[in-house]
Amino acid sequence: MMGQLDEILLLKLIKQGDELAFKHLFYEYVDSLERFIMYYIHDKEKAQEFVLDIFTYLWEHRETFEIRLTLKAYLFQSAKNKAFTYIRDKKESYYLEDLSSLDLEAGEDFELEVQELHRLIQEAVTFLPDRCKDIFKKSREEQLTNKEIAQQLNISEKTVEKQITIALKRIKAFLGDSYSYLW
């Protein structure tokens, strides 16, 4: 995988219309992005389509494209958002607990990609107000129900729901406007 300086140089070349640099980026990430999307949706054809959509968008908007974190983080966040949008639109229920039991031939790169996305979310969580952060962690990390959290903290379930909604909005805002169209 590329280092951050390589990514910066590659992005500069792509912004200048360098097709060779774009092809290099494409071939560097196409397989791992496809595997990453397949992790969520189990549809190879759709996963390939989504990867092409991501790269098409990047190429078409190369001159005005801005990266807030890293190019790799952007690509994998876009892939995750495409997969989640697809799941939402299909109205099928998937739970994160179910995803951990999937048998994939992912390899070390895939695990690093997942870890990086988790790191981005964890970073966003650190910026939440204390009460909001506590409620969000109880919901997502401890997997407590809203009712259990409300009882534990001696607050109403509505307050728990409101704080989780606030947390999700702030996390999305932290990830940036370039991701908002995918949520």
pTM: 0.49
Indicate whether 143 pLDDT > 80: yes
Same domain, yes or no: 50 and 110? yes
Which domain, by its residues, includes 178? 127-183
Same domain, yes or no: 2 and 89? yes
Q: What is the pLDDT of residue 92?
A: 46
Same domain, yes or no: 50 and 98? yes
DSSP state string for 38-68: HHHH--HHHHHHHHHHHHHHHHHTTTT---S
Confidence of residue 177 (pLDDT cuts 50, 70, 90): low
Indicate whether 53 pLDDT > 90: yes
Same domain, yes or no: 70 and 105? yes
Q: Domain of 87: which CATH number?
A: 1.10.1740.10
d(CA 72, CA 100): 22
Same domain, yes or no: 78 and 161? no
> DSSP label at 145?
-
d(CA 124, CA 127): 6
> DSSP label at 141?
T
Report which of 76, 59, 167, 165 is spatially closest to residue 113, judged by C-alpha positions: 76
Please give the angle made by the CA atoms of 25, 177 and 63, to the nearest 5 degrees. Answer: 45
